[in-house]
Structure 1
Amino acid sequence: MSSVNKAILVGNLGKDPVLTFTHTGTAVCKFSLATTDQWTDESGQRHQKTEWHNIVVWKKQAENVSRYLTKGSPIYLEGKIRHQSWDAQDGSKRYSTEIHADEVKFLGTRREESPPPDQVSGGNRGSGRNLRIEGEFGNQDFPADIPF
């Protein structure tokens, strides 16, 4: 019998992504992701509950996430649930759960990166060319030179 470990999340970044590199030079990016459920109870009162997820992204995708996303950016991701445990310095057992993303899709529009005014030169950044992507999670506008 086979098993499946797959998480699919659609939410917003809770903070700016943090890019680091392993000792072998592999890019790894970490950030928190908020997903919010909303519902109305029998009395008509609206409720919402936000869950926070720790996300880890690797390699070129990690570099792209770090470069193009900021706090509040909406994303769709697929990945695997990973649990870790360790002994803290005080002797207590600590636990964490992370989603190691295999696929990250940017939703919504992306802010155009702007170099400092004294570094503005030619090239196709800021040329106004955009790529429009329409899908089941909404329409998206990306610059035509996005690197993936």
Structure 2
Amino acid sequence: MYQQVIIVGNLGSDPEMRFTPSGVPVTSFSVAVNRRWTDSNGEPREKTTWFRVTAWRRLAELCNQYLSKGRLVLVEGEVDASAWLDNQGNPRATLELTARKVQFLGGRGDKGTTPSAPGEGEEFISDDMPF
């Protein structure tokens, strides 16, 4: 079976790159996706859903180089949900997305860009998934 998820949101933290024991680069970062609506009483509402994103190989290197906290991105990939109980016994859950494609959104003047960063709408696709 095949699944594909596309999210658009802002990085909640700077990317963190590490390497597997065999030297494969892996970059992780969080993305906040905001949903806004008006409730039945006419009051504006907002809900933020957090995704933990992992990018591999060349895509990991590019994300680590060009992304930073606050940057708007589109991420396409496969999602996995994990649930657990925290130290106080409260249920917790996370959505983890393995990136296949990351598109850097916004212009060069947006928070998190550098003079050498790819241009607006630049995207990188990785067909070299770790599994």
TM-score scaled by length of structure 1 = 0.66
- In structure 1, the partner of 2:36 is 38
Q: Cα RMSD between the aligned structures?
A: 2.9
1:79 to 77, 80, 83: 77
- In structure 2, the partner of 1:8 is 6
1:57 to 55, 58, 67: 55
The number of residues matched between the two structures is 114
Cα 1:85/1:11, change in 2 over 3 Å: closer
1:112 to 114, 125, 128: 114
- Find runs of 4+ consecutive structure 1 residues off by over 4 angstroms: 83-86
Shift of 1:5: 1.6
CA distance in 1, matches of 2:73, 2:37: 22
Identity %: 36
Question: Which one has a bigger Cα radius of gyration?
Answer: 1
Shift of 1:95: 7.0
- In structure 1, the partner of 2:89 is none
- In structure 1, the partner of 2:68 is 70
TM-score scaled by length of structure 2 = 0.74
CA distance in 2, matches of 1:37, 1:78: 18
Cα 1:141/1:105, change in 2 over 3 Å: closer
Cα 1:83/1:54, change in 2 over 3 Å: same
Shift of 1:23: 1.0
Q: Per the alignment, in what secondary structure is the counterpart of residue 33 of structure 1? A: strand
Shift of 1:9: 0.4
2:15 to 10, 14, 17: 17
Shift of 1:84: 5.7
Point out where structure 1 has 5 or more consecutive residues left out of the alignment: 87-93, 114-124, 132-139
After superposition, give the CA deviation of every residue in 1:98-140 in whole Å (9 maximum; x if it has no partner): 1000000000024224xxxxxxxxxxx6xxxx85xxxxxxxx2
Point out where structure 2 has 5 or more consecutive residues left out of the alignment: 85-91, 126-131
Q: Per the alignment, in what secondary structure is the counterpart of residue 60 of structure 1? A: helix
CA distance in 1, matches of 2:49, 2:80: 17
